[in-house]
Structure 1
Amino acid sequence: MPVALTAVQASNAQYAPSFRPVLVVFGGTSGIGAGLVRAFATHIPPHTGAHIVVVGRSKPAADALIASLPSNSNSQYDFVRVDALLVHDLRTFIRQELFGTLGLKKINYLVLSQGELKLDSTARTSEGFHPTISLMVYGRARAALDLAPLLQAAAAAGEDARIISVAAPGTGGAINLDDVALDKMGAIALRAAMITYTDIYVASLAQRFPDLAVTHVGPGFVKTGLARGLPWYLRPLWKFLEWAFAMTADESGERMMMVLVDPATKKGAFVKDHHNQPVAPSKYFDETAREVVWKSIEKRSDL
């Protein structure tokens, strides 16, 4: 059932953790990720504060975002730059910057929103992956695996320990277990299969780490930077559709925060829409598919 923005904001205003949360947002310099950062920084009780880590590509965008956040002596805002397109580079970044430079000891909330649309189905990174799949499947799943010890540390302390991956639940398409690497699909089928893969790795992460809550959440139609991956001739149409129908990143951020801190979401795998309502996983997701796809994701992202 649709939830009004005012109700969402009122719900977020009730957020009052007994601990000082650590929030790490991949893809946090623009769009949905930036909206969530603003919402979280706004609603965190001043006496509690939070450590918010914004991960993204653009330092100017991050500087502007951080400058817009509420001043709070108990809050710490950090930006760490990475181009997450290559999984090996992403893993090196996690070791050197999040474990190393920042010295994180725990993560309460890990938000995976990095991604872009790339309609050229023949495009490949130097690691051999389609760029969209590299960012939104291999990169996200591997980031969650590598950062799981910090989430487990939060869980062991009795604190929230949650992961959300922002995609498009309820729209998953057919997968081909004879083409588990998604090398032979056209752009439309590739995108649909990626959503089913998201359901699969969310369920698999929750199974691997039973003390965590792992959620595949849909943000609704949001004004974001996804158009940069479209061919030039489609960008004006996308921009018009955003202008006519899309919600702002700030509204989406409020809605994503509501999902992220929902007190009913403690442990396990969840699939939700931007009204914090359950969505059925892809009909193409079964236990056989989960085992085959998850094994492939783990192996191919171990770079």
Structure 2
Amino acid sequence: MPSLSTARASNAKFSPKSRPVIVVFGGTNGIGAGIIRAFARHTPSSVGAHIVIIGRSKASADVLIASLPAHTTSRYDFLSLNALLIHDLRTFIREQLFGTLGLTKINYLILSQGEVVMKSSARTSEGIHPMLSLALYGRARAALDLAPLVEAAAALGEEARIMTVVKAGAGGPLDLEDLAFSKGSMIGNRGRIVTYTDIYTAAIAARHPTISVIHVDPGMVRSGLKRGFPFFLRWIMSFVEWLFGTSAEDCGEWMMYALLDPSSKTGAWAKSPHADTIEPNRWAVDETARRVVWQHVEERSDL
């Protein structure tokens, strides 16, 4: 396991030949903001970076952008999106990323949007639990819809990678009789959500063999994700994070290090909080189960 100083030193050697395009969903705070700070800090001023920050809070985005290096070669765009509804997410991608910004490539697509909703019966107007809509189906669909832009970067001979930040290595058994998570609580189903993530990252990587698709575990991070917990649990989680968690800034360094790993240039990968490669999830290796789950994720997110 490399040290944080090793990760920082490696990130400091980041030297793209042309200006990279970095798109971060859930980028206004927490892990997403940490990744943005790491890329902005380590990108050479001679090249700069185009960083697209997607999130709900313009105020948080303004503070974040003000803290980034003011290189004349860099460009920082904030786009407001509540990604709760998959139809709205897809419209946003089509109208804002392909349309308004006119992106022709994406070198690094980071998917970190999500929130904790404890109520098991909660549903969006699309009939999906909010946690699943944000962190599972919405992320898979964003990766599918934006994969052509990531492939365009690969066609230019540039880095072309997708990263989803969930909990690689912590998968659980599947229930093929309950593909849509109608039973049990979302917290209780977390292991299955992780296994679904492993399956869709492998499926997208197989469909787009010129790019890399990475599922990473960020570890315990001091972030705003706990805002969905009841008050007493938020207090407990804040104390636990203070004792054992890492800062969003340090996590951003680790995530950038994992994203840039030269051994993960193409294919599907699972990474630990310190960027080590994790063995395949034993619940996600059965071919029949993989096919059934992937078909479900693709169809359920086609809204």
TM-score, length of structure 2 as denominator length:
0.98
Whether the 8 Å CA contact 1:51–1:76 is kept in 2: the answer is yes
- What is the identity, as a one-letter code, of the residue corresponding to 1:6? S
Post-superposition offset of 1:44: 0.3
Task: Deviation per CA, 1:242-290: give whole Å up to 9, x if none.
Answer: 1111100000001000011122221100001121111123221121111
Return 5+ residue gaps in structure 1 as ranges: none
Task: Deviation per CA, 1:202-258: give whole Å up to 9, x if none.
Answer: 101101111110000111110111111112231111111111111000000010000
In structure 2, the partner of 1:104 is 103
**Alignment of 1:136 onto 2:135:** yes
Percent identical across equivalent pairs? Answer: 57
- What is the identity, as a one-letter code, of the residue corresponding to 1:116? E
In structure 2, the partner of 1:230 is 229
Secondary structure of residue in 2 paired with 1:177? coil
Distance, in Å, in 2 between the alignment partners of 1:127 and 1:230 is 23
Alignment of 1:168-179 (within 5 A): 168-179=167-178
Alignment of 1:1-303 (within 5 A): 1=1, 3-285=2-284, 286-303=286-303
Distance, in Å, in 1 between the alignment partners of 2:73 and 2:128 is 41
Post-superposition offset of 1:116: 1.3
Distance, in Å, in 1 between the alignment partners of 2:270 and 2:22 is 20
Distance, in Å, in 2 between the alignment partners of 1:22 and 1:39 is 14
Post-superposition offset of 1:187: 2.9
Post-superposition offset of 1:12: 0.3
Secondary structure of residue in 2 paired with 1:264? helix
Task: Deviation per CA, 1:157-213: give whole Å up to 9, x if none.
Answer: 111110000011111112111111111122333211101111011101101111110
Whether the 8 Å CA contact 1:85–1:131 is kept in 2: the answer is yes
Task: Deviation per CA, 1:80-99: give whole Å up to 9, x if none.
Answer: 01001110010011011111
Q: Please provide the CA RMSD for this pair.
A: 0.9
Distance, in Å, in 2 between the alignment partners of 1:300 and 1:94 is 18
Task: Deviation per CA, 1:54-111: give whole Å up to 9, x if none.
Answer: 0000000000000000010000000001001110010011011111111101000000
Count of residue pairs the alignment pairs up: 302
Task: Deviation per CA, 1:35-68: give whole Å up to 9, x if none.
Answer: 0000000000110111000000000000000000
Post-superposition offset of 1:23: 0.2
- What is the identity, as a one-letter code, of the residue corresponding to 2:301? S
Secondary structure of residue in 1 paired with 2:169? coil
Secondary structure of residue in 1 paired with 2:215? strand
- What is the identity, as a one-letter code, of the residue corresponding to 2:298? E
Distance, in Å, in 1 between the alignment partners of 2:115 and 2:158 is 32
Distance, in Å, in 2 between the alignment partners of 1:113 and 1:43 is 20
Higher mean displacement: 182-191 or 35-44: 182-191
- What is the identity, as a one-letter code, of the residue corresponding to 2:201? V
Distance, in Å, in 1 between the alignment partners of 2:230 and 2:272 is 28
- What is the identity, as a one-letter code, of the residue corresponding to 1:205? I
Distance, in Å, in 1 between the alignment partners of 2:93 and 2:187 is 31
Return 5+ residue gaps in structure 2 as ranges: none
Distance, in Å, in 2 between the alignment partners of 1:174 and 1:284 is 5
Task: Deviation per CA, 1:118-156: give whole Å up to 9, x if none.
Answer: 222221111111111111110000001111111111111
